[in-house]
Every structure is written in structure tokens, then in C-alpha cells.
Amino acid sequence: MSLTDEKQEQLGFKFFIASMVASLGLLIYLSFFGPGVNSLDQIAELQEETGVPEFDVEEVEKPWLASPEMVLEGKAVYAGAGTCASCHGVKGEAGIPGIAARNLIEGQWRNGGSSIALFNTLVDGISGTSMVSFKDSLSVNQRWALVHFIRSITKNRPDDNPAELSAFGEQNL
Ligand code: HEC
């Protein structure tokens, strides 16, 4: 092996080590310190780039009215740690062994599937079952966001009476 070959090989090896260190560093950064990648972050980023103001659910003045943003917010709350997905399944399909939670897609509602009825279920829970009240753990607007998310995935979505819904919403802000 000539001297230049050896030098080249050393250089190659150094380069290899440097790239390993760099990618490991990047991996550690992304895993522990990075901003994280999820669809909501990406949406927020897109909104920033396009000049659309970031969505803050608590700023919504009439949270009982459905919108794509509210559905997305509801989806995020639904999937949040210890909230709904752990009993009702990632997609609302239920079927988790040992948990008799309602299949939200089929929507065989006991208390009704109107927006008001679903909101009331989240306030009151269903006594005698593991479906507890989310009155204290979620804000009013988060509960409405969940209602809109559930109504976006269920097959059983009875029509709301808009006037009744507005009146109820105003009273329960
Ligand atoms: C610890 C398990 C558990 C968690 C967590 C849970 N649920 Fe439930 N949920 C249930 C069970 C069990 C039922 C069925 C109760 C019954 O037998 O009527 C139910 C029923 C429901 C119903 C049906 C109401 C009706 O009228 O039939 C809705 C809607 C619902 N849950 C939404 C949610 C949402 C939204 C969340 C998150 C904020 C949530 N649940 C969290 C267990 C859970």
C-alpha cells in the first residue's frame, strides 16, 4: 500500500467517524431537544409561513359551531395521554379487551348523539361506568372540540337544531 493510499484511507476513516458523530448528534437532538414532528406542529408551521394566525381553541368565541380547526383540535385532545383513545381506541372503534367503551364510529348512543347530548355526556359522564366526567379536566372549548371530532367520525349524527345549540352554548360558556 503506498503512502498516499494510506493517507487517503485515514482521511476516509476520519470522514466516516465524523459523519457517524454528526448523525448520532442529530438523532439525539431530534429525539430529546428537537421541536418534535406531528401533524399539529406542522399545521402550525404552515399557518405561520402562510400568514394564517395560529389556532388557539381557548380564543374561539362560539365553540359550539363546528369548523375544521375545531375537529383537528378535538382529534388532538382525543389522542392525548389518558384522555379518550385509551378506552375508545385510536380511531374511536373501541374493542379494547376488558373495556366496554362505546364504539364512537357506530354511535349506538345511550344519551343521544346531538352536539348538546355529546357535550352533556362529557360533563356528566355515565354513572356506574368507567366513563367519567371531563368537566374539571378539560376546558369548555376542549369539550366542544371533542364533540365536533366525534361527530366527524361517527355514522350516527342526528341533526342539531341551530337555535337550540346556540342558546345552550351561550349558557354553558
Ligand atoms: C376509562 C375508560 C374511558 C375513558 C378514558 C373515556 N371513556 Fe367514554 N365511555 C367509556 C365507557 C365504558 C362508555 C360506555 C358506558 C355505558 O355503558 O353506557 C363510554 C361512553 C362514551 C360515549 C357514549 C355516550 C352515549 O350516549 O352513549 C361517548 C360519546 C364517550 N364515551 C366519549 C368519550 C370521550 C370524548 C372521552 C375522552 C374525553 C372518553 N369517552 C373517555 C369509557 C371511557
Query: Does residue 61 form part of some domain?
Result: yes
* Domain range for 25: 3-34
Q: Count how many domains the chain has.
A: 2
Asked if residue 164 and residue 125 are part of one domain, the reply reads: yes
Largest Cα span, the chain: 88
For residue 51, is it within any domain? no
Ligand 1 pocket test, pick from 71, 103, 114, 131 with the greatest ligand atom count within 8 Å of Cβ, gives: 131
Closest atom of ligand 1 relative to the 121 alpha carbon:
24
Minimum-distance ligand 1 atom for the alpha carbon of 82: 5
CA dist 113 to 4, 9, 30, 70, Å? 77, 70, 42, 18
Instruction: List the chain pLDDT tens, one digit each, 173 residues.
Output: 566 777 778 888 888 888 888 888 777 777 776 655 566 677 667 767 776 668 999 999 999 999 999 999 999 999 998 789 999 999 999 999 999 999 999 999 999 999 999 999 999 999 999 999 999 999 999 999 999 999 999 999 999 999 999 999 999 99
Joined together, the cell numbers standing for residue 74 give 378535538
